[in-house]
Structure 1
Amino acid sequence: MAEMQLAGFLKGKTEYTLELFRFFIEEFSKIGYIELHPLKSMIAIESNHKIAYITQLGKNFIHVVFPFNQAFNDNFCFIKIAQVPGTNQYNHHLRIYFKKDINIEVMSFMEMAMLNNNITI
């Protein structure tokens, strides 16, 4: 069932976007075991907790949100950081246009999300 739902999210997307999506998932998988869980409006990336969400598959990009318990404002990769009202969760928005956008900085946030989603530095 989940495979069919995932196929629904990917259906009709450009080959370029699908390639970015596959590359991003492959890079995440190098850090540790992940599972993809299609939800109503996004794809959750999970391990032992929800790590990130793919919220948009555009014509030439993928949009990913990392939830952390603090804002990491000193970065070059996130296009927006927003606190979820009434919580200590800060959603860090990443838009990937090229494979090279998944650089050392992005990989460090991916690792942080994988290791412990509620880390404080």
Structure 2
Amino acid sequence: MPDKTIADFLSGKTQHTIDLFNHFTDAYNSIGLIELHAAKTMIGVSNGHKRIAWITQLGKNFIHIIFPFKEPHYDNLCFIKIAQVPGNNQQFNHHFRMLHISDINEEVMDYMKLAFEQQ
């Protein structure tokens, strides 16, 4: 079975969730050009060279996004969870749940830029 498409992920979602998704991708495109890659269970976000985020859930009233960083960024107000990837001391997944368009604030934009520019 082939991977899903972006449209498959958005199908049947509330307008609120679609608006959140569009706002997130528009905000990222204001940092730099991104590409979306639909997979079986999530949407990958890349900067053309590597994955910089994954959209792992599109709920009724939220989207859940994971940003991979090489080190944990505990001093923040935006991540609901930070977890080291088992067996990989070079990747810490930072979980962000977007409930409102205003959740993409200056702090989140800074982390989005950091993920975009990370080598």
TM-score per shorter chain, which class?
A: over 0.9
Give the TM-score of the pair, scaled to structure 1.
Answer: 0.92
CA distance in 1, matches of 2:81, 2:25: 22
Partner of 1:70: 71
Partner of 2:5: 5
Q: What aligned pairs does 1:30-109 form with structure 2 within 5 A after superposition?
A: 30-47=30-47, 48-87=49-88, 88-109=90-111
**Shift, 1:56, TM fit:** 0.2
Give the TM-score of the pair, scaled to structure 2.
Answer: 0.93
Partner of 1:23: 23
Counterpart of 1:11, as a letter, is S
CA distance in 1, matches of 2:46, 2:76: 24
- From 105, 110, 114, the counterpart of 2:116: 114
**Shift, 1:55, TM fit:** 0.2
Q: Name stretches of at least 5 consecutive residues in structure 1 with no aligned partner.
A: none
Deviations, residues 98-120 of structure 1 (Å, cap 9, x unaligned): 0110000000000000011x5xx
| Superposed CA RMSD | 1.3
Deviations, residues 21-71 of structure 1 (Å, cap 9, x unaligned): 000000000000100000110000001210100000000000000000110
Q: Percent identity?
A: 51
